[in-house]
Amino acid sequence: MNVLMLGWGFPPDIDGGLDIHVAEVFKHLRENEEVRIDLALPEARAPSLENVIPIETGNGDMIDRSRIMSQKVAEIAEDYDIIHTHDWFGAEAGFKSKKYSDVKWVSTFHSLSSGRSRTPSKRLERMEKAAAEESDVLISVSESLAEEVNEKYSRQPEVIYNGYEKPETHGKDVKSDLGIEGEMIFYVGRHAEQKRIELLIRAFEKLDRGTLVLGGTGHMKNALEQFVELLGIEDSVRFVGFIPDSELGDYYSSADVFVSPSRNEPFGLTITEAACCGTPVVATESGALEILPEQTYFKAEGNSDSLKENIEKALETDVEIATERSWKSSSEKIYRIYEDITSISSTSPRCKT
C-alpha cells in the first residue's frame, strides 16, 4: 500500500497542532511494514528525512503556495494508492489526484475556516467544501468538529482523536528565570483572533493576582501588547515569544494554571500537554475536553468573568494528572481506514453511519 500524505510544517518548524499530528502519524505509519508512506511538504519546511518529498512552492501567500504545491502533488499522485490531505490547503491536491489518477482520497479536518475567523475566506471555504464532499473518507479530530462539519457540509466525518503525551521536562525553574515570585498563569499558542487572548488578558486584570505569561507569537501580538499597556498591567504580564519544545514542559510544570480561552478549539494539544503535566487547566470549548478526565480541568464560558472565576477555582483546587494517549493508537486507526478504502471497489464516498 503506497500512501502520499500532505503537510505544511514539521517539528520544530510548526504553526500548530495540525503539524504535530501529521509528523506523529507519519512517524508511526513509517514503522508499519504493510504501508509505504511519503510526506510532501513545502521545500522551505521539509526536513532531510527518508520518505519526505520537498515541494517548491514559491514566495506568495499561503493560498497561492498551496495551489502550486497541489498542482505538483497531483502530477505524482498516480504512483500512489491513497492521498491523505489535511484541512483546506490539501483539498485541491486531493481533488485533482482523485480525478486524474484514480487514487483514493482521505481528508482529515482539524478545524474549519469559520472557526478560525469571523470573516472566513470564501476561497478557503470552497476548498473545504470540496474536501468534505468529494473525499472518499472524511475524518475529524473530535466529535464537536465532526458536528460542525456535518452541519456546514452535510457529511458526518469519522472521528479519530489526536494522541498526546507529557512534554519532556529538564528541571528549569521558569518562575525564577522570569522573576516571578507568586502564581504563574500560562498561555501558549498562536496570537490570532481565534485564540481570544484578549479575553484572558481582561480576565487577568479582573483577577488582580499573580503573573500572566503569554507564549507564542502571531499577527495580533503588537495589538495585545498595546491592550496590556492600555489596561496598565504591563508589570504583571510577560510576553515570552516562541517557546522551543525543549522548554515547553518546564513552562507547563512551573505554571499554577494553564488557560485556553479560544473561541473555537477543535482539539487543543496544549490543553492535553498541560493536563499531562498535572497543571490545572481552564478552557472554553475544546475537543480535548471530550476525552480528558473531568478532574483535570475547569470549563469556562467565553467571557472574561467566567475565565476569571474558573482561574480562581483552578488556583485553589488540586487536580489529577491526565494519562497520555498513544499516537500509535491514532495511527493504527488511520491505517485501518487505509485498509478498508483500498478493499472497497465502489467509488462512492464513505460516510459514518
User: Which pLDDT score, from 0 to 100, does residue 319 have?
Assistant: 95
User: Which pLDDT score, from 0 to 100, does residue 210 have?
Assistant: 97
User: Which pLDDT score, from 0 to 100, does residue 344 have?
Assistant: 63
Cell 528525512 locates to: 49
Written as nine digits, the cell of 67 is: 495551489
Say whether 174-315 and 2-163+327-343 share the same fold.
Answer: yes
pLDDT tens figures, 64-88: 999 999 999 999 999 999 999 999 9
| Residue ranges in the chain modelled with pLDDT below 70 | 344-353
Cα–Cα distance, 176 to 151 (Å, whole number): 48
CATH architecture of 2-163+327-343: 3-Layer(aba) Sandwich (3.40)
Element (H, E) at 152: helix 143-153
Cα–Cα distance, 53 to 74 (Å, whole number): 13
CB 19 within 8 A of CB 46: no
Sorted by where each begins, the domain ranges of the chain are 2-163+327-343, 174-315
The dotted CATH code for 174-315 is 3.40.50.2000
Cell 518529498 locates to: 53
Written as nine digits, the cell of 321 is: 494528572
User: Which pLDDT score, from 0 to 100, does residue 345 have?
Assistant: 44
Choose among 1, 157, 13: nearest CA to 87. 157
Neighbours of 156 (CB within 10 A): 16
